[in-house]
């Protein structure tokens, strides 16, 4: 009887251990969960890292279009787009800064954790850039090679713009010209005529914008062919529809 009782107790212990292991295995996240679509300007639907693990996270890979570098926040960001979805990656290692908006890239990333300053240093999940390789030129790169001239620009002496901000404005002006449907500007680009733009501040419907007046330079001077509005907070680009007196987002 004593041997039988001991056998039963040992069986219960072993059975309990197998049950715990089985339950633990069911709760482990699948490391091969595929990337899903995300809302514009959000990574909320990318696979999340629930807990910080010692085991290295698997890398993920995709073909995307380059959008921009953002070096103004606590963590440098690399921004890329796939269809209508925009992704933000933490950029710790890529210091090249040679990509232009719209360039096609192969990008590799993995899950990671960052701490947000001013938020009690609470860890937050993030997508960490591992590597990026350009595979083909986008519209801006092609525009630079074909036009092969610098744009000119002017602004009021009353305004104080930093070099970084002027560089951002310049890149947006290039992006517009690389994709413009305006025949006057397309003709100027084809002829490699000088193109200039003015910079001033404007307000519409209680929002602040930087207003650009883009013009080809001809024998009779420069006449504005297109007015562009740049939202000072989001840096999104809008075309001014003079007939409707409205702004249309330029993609």
pLDDT over threshold 70, residue 51: no
pLDDT in tens, 151-170: 999 998 888 899 999 999 99
Which residues, 6 or more positions from 133, have their beta carbon under 8 angstroms from its beta carbon?
105, 106, 107
Residue 12 has pLDDT above 70, yes or no: no
Beta carbons of 74 and 117 less than 8 angstroms apart: yes
What is the share, in percent, of the chain residues with pLDDT greater than 70? 77
Q: Number of C-alpha atoms within 13 angstroms, CB side, residue 33? A: 15
Residue 73 pLDDT: 78
Q: Are 95 and 60 in contact (CB under 8 A)?
A: no
* pLDDT given at position 205: 93
Q: Could you tell me what percentage of the chain is helix, strand and coil, using 3-state DSSP and rounding each to the nearest 5?
A: 25, 35, 40
Give yes or no for residue 21 having a pLDDT over 70. no
| For range 88-111, the mean pLDDT | 92
Closest residue by Cα to residue 155 from 144, 169, 143, 142? 169
Question: Over the stretch 165-192, which tens digit does the pLDDT of each residue have?
Answer: 999 999 999 999 999 999 999 999 999 9
Q: Is pLDDT above 50 for 20?
A: no
Q: Which pTM value belongs to this model?
A: 0.72
Alpha-carbon gap, residue 160 to 170, rounded angstroms:
16
Top pLDDT among 196 and 47 is at 196
Over range 20-26, report the average pLDDT. Answer: 38
Residue 31 has pLDDT above 80, yes or no: no
Q: What is the dihedral of CA 77, 37, 232, 172, to 10 degrees?
A: 80
């Amino acid at each position: 009887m004593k041997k039988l009782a001991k056998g039963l107790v040992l069986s219960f212990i072993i059975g309990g251990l197998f049950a715990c292991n089985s339950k633990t295995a069911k709760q482990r996240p699948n490391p091969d969960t595929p990337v899903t679509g995300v809302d514009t300007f959000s990574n909320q639907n990318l696979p999340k890292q629930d807990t910080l693990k010692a085991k290295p996270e698997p890398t993920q890979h995709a073909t995307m279009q380059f959008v921009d570098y953002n070096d103004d926040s606590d963590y440098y960001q690399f921004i890329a787009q796939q269809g209508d979805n925009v992704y933000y990656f933490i950029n710790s290692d890529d210091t090249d800064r040679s990509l232009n908006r719209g360039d096609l890239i192969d990008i590799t990333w993995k899950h990671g954790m960052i701490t947000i300053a001013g938020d009690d240093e609470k860890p937050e999940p993030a997508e960490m850039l591992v590597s990026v390789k350009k595979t083909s030129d986008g519209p801006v790169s092609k525009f630079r090679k074909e036009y092969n001239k610098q744009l000119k620009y002017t602004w009021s002496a009353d305004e104080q713009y930093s070099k970084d901000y002027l560089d951002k404005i310049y890149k947006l002006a290039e992006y517009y010209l690389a994709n413009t449907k305006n025949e006057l500007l397309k003709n100027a680009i084809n002829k490699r005529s000088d193109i200039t733009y003015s910079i001033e501040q404007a307000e519409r419907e209680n929002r602040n914008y930087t207003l650009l007046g883009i013009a080809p330079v001809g024998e009779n001077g420069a006449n504005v062919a297109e007015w562009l509005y740049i939202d000072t907070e989001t840096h999104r680009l809008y075309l001014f529809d003079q007939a409707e007196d409205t702004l249309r987002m330029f993609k």
